[in-house]
Chain A
């Protein structure tokens, strides 16, 4: 049996290594591009949200002469104020033409109203359907209401009343999320990428070694050799598993290296993906390779052709991701029972490592054993499928 496994493994290995397209898709596209693309997009969006906090928002003020103090206050708040003159129609035209995004109009009556102790009206123009403009208008409105609050406090003090009277209830928000757990919301995607890339790593070989072998007409002569069919299929599962392990190793290394370049700290998160965590993620996902390789082989062995196998395996790729999606929606916490579900258990373990949550060691053991058991069962099924006469198609 060992001799057969070695011969089959070596043959599948050689065939795959020499197929540049197969290598590219299983070991380059998946393990390198998938995490890099995800983390790249993440970096881009983080940079954008960080810079939008810092930037000086340009705001045009019409009728600034009527409210020099307000203009001064806005400038102190870091807004880039330009003074302009124009009517309501002019302002709408500026915004429409994209000359200005946010315009504050101060009516002539402003000074009078303010002096008279009446609510003084100012108008803030912005295009509400434009997210960016709306966000900036929000900043301007907040600045103006800050100004309004400080004037009101002064008025109360002038009348001998503590400004605190006007504050019946005060809300203090306390954020208990640790930086690492906040990052997990974003990095939760990573466990999904790890599992998917691992599966992709062995997919090409699983198809080629079963459906492909049949389509090329090399299966029938193979079955005339004096070795049990089960041994042939075990060798193929083994070869597929090998490429999955390589893909898994590559993807964890890629993530560990790339995640450092993501500016998570700037928004108060920390990326807990050092060498130790990367290794733990690798080990926790390793048993999943057994399920992946045997599952893909089973599917590829009852399809008739390469094309059909590809269609089915596309669907199969979704199967292990289903429990993860459900877990994400319901916000499931890790428990011993859930460790019995392969792919979900790996997802929860990886999440635990990323959040630096210490899960009981028994969880990892249960996950490993249950996953390996399912892998053994599926390998056995693959062997059974190869015993059928119909396997020749």
Chain B
């Protein structure tokens, strides 16, 4: 469960996020949709506490990200926009390192590792150094790393960027699996089709503000248009911007 109230953040003279409020429920996939530079990543970064908001509040399972950032980080798994893995470590070692940082006991950690390797279909390359991994293999490692402590809330920042069709599909299945297990999944994207295909709830952000939110069907009926894409364009009030 993620609750966001009037978050704002500026960098120098740029007001990246002006006023963003929304809620993402457990067992649902919530999509942050918006053109490049709309403030999606900045919002997520404030949620996973690498940035401090200028004003506003955010709670993860009731934990305030401002007063208890460590507690908030414990309850989330994050796949940031740049999710580099260590090329000299194997997939398993990459994931184990994060498990150790989460303070998992060795026994729990090794069991969880096996589970993740199995779930994400990584057994083929789990013990190879990550140096030669394909983009799809890398994203699996990064995702497994984010899920190693079995967080209830999962934050994904443009996870399908740079993925080929097969990897995108695999990722989509994973996200649906998380939803089925009752996780709260929040992910950002600028690709409308992707959001439409996956999300139960959509939050459209533009120029650092939430301009519209609701279910895909709800948005389409509110703004009309023959398709969801039409509806997006009308929401944003300009024909360009969305891919």
Which A positions have Cβ atoms within 8 angstroms of B? Answer: 3-4, 6-8, 10-11, 14-15, 18-19, 213, 216-228, 389, 392
Contacts and interface: CB of A to CB of B under 8 A. Distances in A.
Interface in B87-135: 87-89, 93, 97-98, 100-103, 129
B76 A225 contact: no
Contact of A7 (B78, B82, B100, B146): B100
Contacts of B86: 11, 15, 216, 218
A220 B73 contact: no
A224 B82 contact: no
B73 A228 contact: no
B52 interface: yes
Nearest to B48: A224
Nearest to B49: A224
Nearest to A393: B82
B211 interface: no
Nearest to A227: B101
A148 B89 CA distance: 81
Given A217-B83, A224-B73, A7 B97 contact: yes
- Report which residue of A216, A218, A219, A225 has the largest number of chain B beta carbons within 10 angstroms of its beta carbon: A225
Contact of B82 (A14, A19, A217): A217
B102 A225 contact: yes
Interface residues of B, number: 33
A226 B88 CA distance: 24
Q: Which 10 A-B pairs have the closest CB atoms?
A: A217-B82, A217-B84, A7-B100, A218-B84, A216-B84, A224-B78, A225-B101, A226-B73, A226-B74, A18-B88
A19 B86 CA distance: 12
Given A11-B89, A18-B88, 12 more contacts: A10-B97, A216-B87, A221-B83, A221-B145, A221-B146, A222-B101, A224-B76, A225-B102, A226-B70, A226-B71, A226-B74, A389-B51
Nearest to B72: A226
A223 B74 contact: no
A208 to B, nearest CB: 10
A14 B93 CA distance: 10
Contacts of B85: 218
B182 interface: no
Nearest to A235: B101
B32 interface: no
Nearest to A17: B88
Contacts of B89: 11, 14-15, 18
A53 to B, nearest CB: 55
A291 B153 CA distance: 41
Given A19-B88, A218-B85, A224 B80 contact: yes
Contacts of A226: 70-71, 73-74, 101-103
Contacts of A15: 86, 88-89
Interface string B40-51: 000000001111
Nearest to B77: A224
A223 B100 contact: no
B100 A3 contact: yes
A20 to B, nearest CB: 10
Contacts of A8: 101
B142 interface: yes
B101 A223 contact: no
B50 A223 contact: yes
A172 B209 CA distance: 93
Contacts of A392: 50
18 contacts: A3-B103, A7-B100, A10-B97, A14-B88, A15-B89, A18-B88, A18-B89, A220-B83, A224-B48, A224-B76, A224-B80, A225-B98, A226-B73, A226-B74, A226-B103, A227-B101, A228-B70, A392-B50
A225 B102 CA distance: 7
- Report which residue of A11, A223, A224 has the largest number of chain B beta carbons within 10 angstroms of its beta carbon: A224
Nearest to B149: A226
A4 B146 contact: no
A221 B142 contact: yes
A7 B80 contact: no
A230 B78 CA distance: 20
Contacts of B102: 225-226
A331 to B, nearest CB: 47
Nearest to A4: B101
A220 B82 contact: yes
Interface string B138-153: 0000100110000000
A15 to B, nearest CB: 5
A52 B127 CA distance: 63
Contacts of A217: 80, 82-84
Contact of B50 (A4, A7, A218, A224): A224
A224 B86 CA distance: 16
A19 B98 CA distance: 21
